[in-house]
Amino acid sequence: MDNVLSGKALTRKERRQLSARLRDEARNGTISDKGRTVARQMGIDIEGIEAGIKNQAQSRQNATEDNRNESDNNFVRPDSSQFPQTRLAVHNDLISKGYHSTGTTDQGYVVYKDGKGRRVNIKPDGEVIPTVKVPEDPNNTSPTAPKRSQRTYYDGTFIPDEINDHTTGHNVGRISVDDFYPEPYKWVGTATWMKENSK
C-alpha cells in the first residue's frame, strides 16, 4: 500500500493481489483508512462493495423475519395431554432419554440436564419447562458461538420468540413435601413459596 501512496508503480500481479486484499477487507468490514485511500487511488469502489454487503445482510434478515412470521401464523401448539402427566412419569421418561437430575433448588424447582445443552425444569406450580441452548446469532455456526436458552415444548418443538407467552401448557401438578423427588435430593419444603402457602 505504501508503494501506491508514494506513487511507485506496481506490477500487474502486485496490483491484482492488492486489489483482491482491499476488496476482501471491505467485504469483512476490516478495511483501514489507509486502505480506503489506496483503494480510491486504484479506482476500487469500496463504498459500493460495503453497500452491497449491507444490502445482502438486510435481505437475509428480511427473509428470516418473513419465514418466522409465516411460521408464527401457521404455528400449532402441541397437545400437552400426550406428554407424561405426573412428576414420576416425567422423571422416568427423561432418565430413559439420557437426562440426569441435578436436584431440587431452594425455590422448589426440580432440574434435569442431558449434557447436550438441553435442560428441563419443573416449577413448584408443576409447569414443565424444557429449554435448549441455541446460538444467539442463527448464522453463526461456530461451536464457540455465544448461546442462549430457547424454550421448547416437551416434544422438542420450539416456542417461537414472537408468541412466547412463557408458558408451555404442560403441567404435572403443584409440588408438595410428600411428592416425588429424584433421590438423593429429597426436598424438605423450606423454600419461601411453601412457607407463604402454609400461612
Overall number of domains in the chain: 2
The whole-angstrom separation of Cα 145 and Cα 138 is 10
150 and 85, same structural domain? Answer: yes
Percent of the chain topping pLDDT 90? 12
Regarding predicted confidence, which is higher, 189 or 141? 141
Cα of 13 vs its chain's centroid, Å: 45
53 and 121, same structural domain? Answer: no
155 and 94, same structural domain? Answer: yes
Regarding predicted confidence, which is higher, 53 or 108? 108
Q: Is 159 exposed, middle or buried (0-12, 13-18, 19+ CB in 10 A)?
A: buried
pLDDT(72) > 70: no
Domain boundary among 55, 73, 91: 73
- Confirm if 154 and 170 have CB atoms less than 8 A apart: yes
Calculate mean pLDDT across residues 79-84: 89
The whole-angstrom separation of Cα 78 and Cα 75 is 9
pLDDT, one tens digit per residue, over 121-179 is 998 888 999 999 888 888 887 888 888 888 889 998 888 776 656 688 899 887 665 56
Output the CA–CA distances (angstroms, integers) from residue 147 to 107, 168, 188, in the order listed.
Answer: 25, 21, 34
**What is the structure's pLDDT at 116?**
84
Concatenating the DSSP letter of every residue in 153-183 gives: -TTS-B--GGG--S--S-B-----TTS---T
Chain mean pLDDT for the chain: 76
